[in-house]
Amino acid sequence: MGLIKKSRVKSPWIMHFDNSSCNGCDIEVLACLTPLYDVERFGIVNMGNPKHADVLLITGPVNRRTARVLRNLYEQVPNPKMVIAVGTCASSGGVFHNCYNVLGGVDKVIPVDVYVPGCAARPEAIIDGVVMALQSLTEQRHLWVTCPHCNLEHEVTDQRWRI
Amino acid sequence: MNQLIIVIATIVLAPIAGGLLFGIDRRITARLQGRFGPPILQPFYDFFKLMGKESIAVSKMQFVWIYAYLVLMIASLLCLVLQSDFLVLVFLLGFAGVSLVLGGFSTKSPYSHFGANRELLQILAYEPVLLLLAIAIYAQNGTFLISMIVSNQQPLLLSLWPLFIAVLYVLTIKMRKSPFDISTSHHAHQEIVKGITTEYSGPFLALYELAEWYEIVLVLGVIVLFWANPLWIGLLIAFAAFLLELVVDNITARMTARWMVRLSWSVGLILGILNIAYLYIMKGVF
């Protein structure tokens, strides 16, 4: 593992974006920064600037207003970047999935690397999600999944998987 | 030949020392806040990660200015280690600060402009104190040469202790620590987005961090000059000043830019002018 690759795992800078969340997950994201969980011991720093960030932590379902903002933020993050959907709403739309103004989960707008379900997602699960997203940077994971269309097992080299 | 070795050693070793100092800084700050804190080598991980990232150009000019900031900072540090003119050191440091400000102004982002304006105020706050220090060194030694300070048996701290207090203010401003972390902050990462570094990303943000490492070594080096003979006492004083800075950083809140200029000028300039006046009166010039 090269120096830069190793450093990537050791220093993920996070940017947190609230789509249209109920703030439950947002509070859990902020709880990660407190002395109890202290994510800075893994080098994780909460940034306010997409141009400095490596990981986008997104909470809440995407609605028609925030979809444009979310795409804009995603494009401002320099590569390599990772997207983590925190909470049930960000993963699938949750209880808001059939609202007239809600498009659904974050993956309707931008590619998502890791889904962290939960209402609200616990800080441990969020930290776990970040660690899992970092592993996707270092190793190419091969998964065998059953294809919903042809019912055969396919090898998936895509780096996205669910926890 | 000997000087060439010193130059190469400085360019290689200064960022390592600066990065370690920032690592210690983050660890101690975390402990003071009741957290475990990142590893000591964390600034290096951040640096290499940023080097491997994509660079997004907002304006080509800001890259020129960030290179200028780095090169002038190194030149200023070389002035110190080659024991050349202290006045040149102060001017090079001033030019380095101005290049950072111009880098901030070269984009259209209002956050970057905010940061650049505040950085200008910071320069306004610390530059007169450093100039007064240069004048005081001249009043003491009869020359601006750092080699004379180093070879002088009597340490500067004994006669220049009011200016030493003023230089501690400069250290806080240059390290961008509370209560003077107004142009960009190490802690409040969401504060007016990120101040003057808002528009830098990837390798160019890494260059900015590298320049900051040189900068902390330079400012602590200026503090070492207060007791440069024997050198180890000066190094101890500089490290103690660094630790004091961390405590001050954690027990104070950020103040406004106007407050910073007012405090730095009222305390720094008055202490400096009184000190210089005292030196000249003792020499019988007046």
Mean pLDDT of B239-254: 89
Contact A40 B26 (CB under 8 A): yes
pLDDT given for residue B229 in this prediction: 80
pLDDT given for residue A49 in this prediction: 86
| Candidates B30, B36, B194; nearest CB to A48 | B194
Min CA distance, A94 vs chain B (Å)? 29
Min CA distance, A117 vs chain B (Å)? 26
Tell me: the pLDDT tens digits for A81-103? 888 999 888 888 888 888 898 98
8 A C-beta contact, residue A94 and residue A68: no
Min CA distance, B187 vs chain A (Å)? 9
CA distance B226 to B219: 12
Q: What is the dihedral of CA B234, B237, B239, B243, to 10 degrees?
A: -170
Order across the sheet with A13-18: list the strands.
Answer: A45-47, A13-18, A55-59, A82-86, A114-116, A161-162
Mean pLDDT of B78-99: 91
Tell me: the pLDDT tens digits for A117-152? 888 888 888 888 888 888 776 655 445 555 556 665
Residue B33 contacts A where some CB pair is shorter than 8 Å: yes
Residue B47 contacts A where some CB pair is shorter than 8 Å: yes
Tell me: the pLDDT tens digits for B93-127? 999 999 999 988 988 888 888 888 888 988 988 89
Tell me: the pLDDT tens digits for A61-78? 998 888 999 988 988 888
How much is the mean pLDDT over chain B? 87
- Interface ipTM: 0.79
8 A C-beta contact, residue B14 and residue B217: yes
Contact A11 B200 (CB under 8 A): no
| Candidates B30, B49, B191; nearest CB to A7 | B49
Mean pLDDT of B257-261: 86
Residue among A1, A40, A46, A82 with most chain B CBs within 10 A, to mutate: A40
Contact B30 A3 (CB under 8 A): no
pLDDT given for residue B90 in this prediction: 92
Under the banding of pLDDT at 50, 70 and 90, the label for residue B92 is very high
Task: Please report, for residues B74, B114, B204, the alpha-carbon distance to residue B61 in angstroms, rounded to integers and kept in the order given.
Answer: 20, 18, 12
Torsion sign across C-alpha atoms B182, B184, B189, B194: positive
Tell me: the pLDDT tens digits for B21-80? 999 999 999 998 888 889 999 999 999 989 888 888 788 888 899 999 999 999 999 989
Instruction: Give the residue numbers spanning the domain of B247.
Output: 2-281
Query: Which chain B residues have a beta carbon less than 8 Å from that of A7?
Result: 44-49, 52
Contact A52 B35 (CB under 8 A): no
Nearest CA in chain B to A17: B190
Tell me: the pLDDT tens digits for B207-216? 999 999 999 9
Neighbouring CB atoms inside 10 A of A34's CB total 13
pLDDT given for residue A147 in this prediction: 54
- A99 contacts: CB under 8 Å, gap ≥ 6: A61, A63
| Candidates B34, B54, B189; nearest CB to A46 | B189
Nearest to A105 by CA among A54, A156, A60: A60
Query: Which chain A residues have a beta carbon less than 8 Å from that of B51?
Result: 4
The DSSP string of B93-128 is: HHHHHHHHHHHHHTS--HHHHHHHHHHHHHHHHHHH
- The 3-state DSSP class for residue A104 equals strand
pLDDT given for residue B19 in this prediction: 92
Min CA distance, B196 vs chain A (Å)? 12
Under the banding of pLDDT at 50, 70 and 90, the label for residue A158 is very low
pLDDT given for residue B77 in this prediction: 92
Indicate the number of domains in chain B.
Answer: 1
Contact A48 B193 (CB under 8 A): yes
- The 3-state DSSP class for residue B148 equals helix
* Domains located in chain A, CATH noted: 3-162 (3.40.50.12280)
Under the banding of pLDDT at 50, 70 and 90, the label for residue B263 is confident
Say if B62 falls within a structural domain: yes
Say if B46 falls within a structural domain: yes
Say if B286 falls within a structural domain: no
Under the banding of pLDDT at 50, 70 and 90, the label for residue A161 is very low
| Candidates B37, B48, B205; nearest CB to A41 | B37
pTM of the model as a whole: 0.87
Tell me: the pLDDT tens digits for A47-62? 888 888 888 999 999 9
Query: Which chain A residues have a beta carbon less than 8 Å from that of B198?
Result: 49, 51
Tell me: the pLDDT tens digits for B60-74? 888 899 999 999 999
Neighbouring CB atoms inside 10 A of A35's CB total 11
Stretch 28-67 of chain A: residues touching chain B, C-beta under 8 Å: 35, 38, 40-43, 45-49, 51-52, 54
